[in-house]
């Protein structure tokens, strides 16, 4: 039973061509996170939603945006992907912020040509 | 800002040997979580420690949280090939305005040779 679903699993885009990654959850969790993970590195938090409240990390480039139209769905928009944005993008959820485990989706592998 | 350091970066062991990874935070933590990421997979939650000096066990895995709540360790006894993967610690800074943000360590990549 999938709990955090990400689509697509693999995305290829061209330099500068906007791309949208999607995440959905069946857990009814309040918090949804977007992480960027590059090869052999730790996940890096880009931003998160606590319900409808959007929280951006200070070092997240303006090139990255997010939308959460409802509890179940969250989108990551990369307005003008650069070669350095090629990475695995992980969506995660938790019931509350802080003292709660995070459930990760399988990730979307983004390739920028 | 908060930093979480994890060592070693890589560990190669023979099947049956023990394995330990260590995590140190620059600041006092409210809690520490451990995740395992299999090759090609996504992080999967293993456990959370909250209390000073806490020790928890899951079969062959033993997790410890330091008395000062600034360090933690994961010990695997008698490794098996199924233990292969990257083990991440992730901590939440105590107090402050971090809203409970998890800061991940760099991870330890475990390879087990049969």
Do B19 and A84 contact (CB within 8 A), yes or no? no
B34 by Cβ neighbours in 10 Å (0-12 / 13-18 / 19+) ranks as: buried
Q: With contacts defined as CB-CB under 8 Å, which chain A residues touch B50?
A: 99
From B90, B91, B80, B84, select the one nearest B109 (Cα to Cα): B84
With H, G, I as helix, E, B as strand and everything else as coil, classify residue B70: coil
Summarize pLDDT for B1-13 with one digit per residue, the tens: 778 999 999 999 9
Summarize pLDDT for A18-69 with one digit per residue, the tens: 999 999 999 999 999 999 999 989 999 999 999 999 999 989 999 999 999 9
Answer whether A55 sits within 8 Å of B107, measured CB to CB: no
Answer whether B43 sits within 8 Å of A40, measured CB to CB: no
């Amino acid at each position: 039973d999938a709990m955090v679903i990400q689509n697509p699993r693999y995305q290829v885009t061209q330099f500068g061509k906007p791309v949208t990654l999607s995440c959905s959850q069946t857990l009814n969790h309040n918090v949804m996170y977007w992480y960027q993970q590059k090869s052999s590195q730790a996940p890096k938090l880009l931003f998160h939603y606590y319900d409808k409240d959007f929280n951006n990390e200070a070092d997240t480039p303006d090139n990255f945006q997010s939308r959460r139209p409802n509890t179940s769905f969250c989108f990551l928009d990369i307005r003008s992907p650069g070669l350095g944005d090629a990475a695995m993008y992980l969506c995660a959820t938790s019931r509350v912020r802080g003292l709660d485990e995070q459930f990760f989706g399988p990730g979307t592998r983004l390739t920028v040509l | 800002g908060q930093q979480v350091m994890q060592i070693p970066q890589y560990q190669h062991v023979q099947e049956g040997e023990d394995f330990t990874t260590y995590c140190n935070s620059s600041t006092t933590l409210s809690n520490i979580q451990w995740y395992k990421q299999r090759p090609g997979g996504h992080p999967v939650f293993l456990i959370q420690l909250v209390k000073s000096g806490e020790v928890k066990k899951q079969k062959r895995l033993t997790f410890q949280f330091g008395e000062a709540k600034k360090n933690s360790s994961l010990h695997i006894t008698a490794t098996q090939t199924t233990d292969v993967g990257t083990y991440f610690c992730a901590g939440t800074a105590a107090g402050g305005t971090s809203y409970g943000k998890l800061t991940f360590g760099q991870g330890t990549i475990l390879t087990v040779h049969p």
